[in-house]
Structures are given as structure tokens and as C-alpha cells.
Structure 1
Amino acid sequence: MVIIFLMIAVSVTVAGCFLGAFLWAVRSGQYDDDYTPAIRMLFDNEAVTDKKEKPAEPAS
């Protein structure tokens, strides 16, 4: 019976740590920008194609 109370105390402590980490992340601005990650892959693809579209240098 003692182990059950010990496991409940440990699980409540771990849950409190995760809640504290989540609240810290929210207060520090980790979730402020929710638009840019959705379109970031579009900008990355354009940057790669720009490098491939450079004209070749003429041979001397």
C-alpha cells in the first residue's frame, strides 16, 4: 500500500514539472508565432531554386 502512495507522489511531482515547463515556455514566447512555421517550407524551397537558376559563367 505504501508503494501506491509513493507512485502517486512521484507522478504528481513529474506532472507538476511538466506543467511548470509548459508555463515557462508560454511566458517566454515559445508559442507567439504560429504563422511562420506553416509557410517556412515554402521559403526554403525558393532559396534552393534561386541557387540553381544562376546563369553559368561563360567559358574563356
Structure 2
Amino acid sequence: MSVIIILLGVSLLVAMGFLGAFIWSVKNGQFEDDFSPARRILFDNKTDNVNE
């Protein structure tokens, strides 16, 4: 029974660590990329076309 309490405490510490890392990354601007490379393919940029 004491193993369950130890595992519960360790899992809560790990969860709090991930939550802290997430909050830190949001505050430092890790998620402020509004125009990511994944969306750039949706827009036609005439200056990049070499075959024209």
C-alpha cells in the first residue's frame, strides 16, 4: 500500500514539472509563431517559383 502512495507522489511531482515547463515556455514566447512553415505552403509566392 505504501508503494501506491510513493507512486502517486512521484507522478504528481512529474505532472507539476511538466506543467511548470509548459507555463515557462508560454511566458517565454515559444508558442507565438503565427505564420509557421506548415502554413506557408498554402500561400502562392510568385518570387519563389523558379520554373516561371
Greater RCO between the two (CA within 8 Å, min separation 6)? Answer: 2
Same fold (TM over 0.5): yes
Q: Which runs of 4+ in 1 moved over 6 A?
A: none
Percent of pairs identical after alignment? 45
Shift of 1:8: 0.3
Q: Which runs of 5+ in 2 are unaligned?
A: none
More helix by share: 1
Query: What is the TM-score when the length of structure 1 is the normalising length?
Result: 0.63
Q: Which runs of 5+ in 1 are unaligned?
A: 55-60
Structure 2 partner of 1:40: 40
Two-structure CA RMSD over aligned residues (Å): 2.3
